[in-house]
Amino acid sequence: MAVLQPLAIAAADLLALSMVAVLSFALGMIVTILFVMARSGTRPPDIDIEFLEEEEEGEGSHKLEARGELPAEAPRELWELDPDWWKA
């Protein structure tokens, strides 16, 4: 049994080693989270670009509404029903 002698650890040492392992794991998780946040913060999200493009397209209709000049019939999306759908 001379082989197992170097692996013998006292109870107090085992407690200290387990605490070091838990703290190392927690520190590793915090460093990983900060690293991922730093990497994702450097590039702009794609949704902002799409939002700005949609906003630029809609500026013309907002200017007409502000002056009181609305088109005769606003274009509808394919999913929209007729305004008089309930009369049929």
- pLDDT tens for each residue of 20-36: 999 999 999 999 999 99
- For residue 4, what pLDDT is reported? 57
Residue 42 per-residue DSSP state: S
Residue predicted with more confidence, 63 or 84: 84
**Would 49 be classed as within a structural domain?**
yes
- The gap from C-alpha 15 to its chain's centroid, in whole angstroms, comes to 39
Number of domains in the chain: 1
- Helix ranges (H only) for 5-77 are 11-41, 46-57, 59-67
**Would 41 be classed as within a structural domain?**
yes
Does this model's pTM top 0.85? My answer is: no
10: helix, coil or strand? Answer: coil
**Would 40 be classed as within a structural domain?**
yes
How confident is the model over 64-81, as a mean pLDDT? Answer: 68
What is the tens place of the pLDDT at every residue in 2-19?
555 666 788 788 999 999
8: helix, coil or strand? Answer: coil
